[in-house]
Amino acid sequence: MIGSLDVIVIDCPDPALLAAFYAELLGMRIETTDYGFVDLVGPDENSRPIVSFQPVENYRAPEWPGQLVPQQMHLDVRVDDLDVGEAAVLAIGATRTGSEEPTFRVYLDPAGHPFCLLGPAKEE
């Protein structure tokens, strides 16, 4: 191993707004930082990875499912029930994309980044 994952950085036009969305989605705590970044942290200061939101001037949202403006990254979030998860993410500002399969659904966060809700893991 060369290193360990420390921070995931997501470009966006409004770090505070997007951090609030993901704090609710992931159950993490918001911490403000220098340079306009806003971080999400776990239950203690040593929890990793941190999810950090970086302000970007002239931000262009990813185009999904097209690739004119590539998505660049996305998060997969596992939920116990897709319908309950969907209602919850829509309530905090997500947008449906219309792309859904029996085991996952794709949404856009408030800045236009795609993310997926994954249904319960299958037991083997």
SS3 of 2-55: CCCCCEEEEEECCHHHHHHHHHHHHCCEEEECHHHCEEEECCCCCCCCEEEEEE
Sheet holding 104-108, edge to edge: 75-78, 114-118, 104-108, 95-100
pLDDT higher than threshold 60 for residue 115:
yes
Check whether residue 19 and residue 70 sit in a common domain.
no
Q: Which residue would you say has higher pLDDT here, 67 or 59?
A: 59
Single out the residue in 17, 41, 59 at which a domain terminates.
59
Both tokens of 46, joined, read 């040593």
- Reported as a single tens digit per residue, the pLDDT across 79-97 is 999 999 999 999 999 999 9
Of 59, 90, 105, the last residue of a domain is 59
* Whether 43 and 21 share a structural domain: yes
Residue span of the structural domain in which 51 resides: 1-59
Which CATH number does the domain housing residue 54 bear?
3.10.180.10
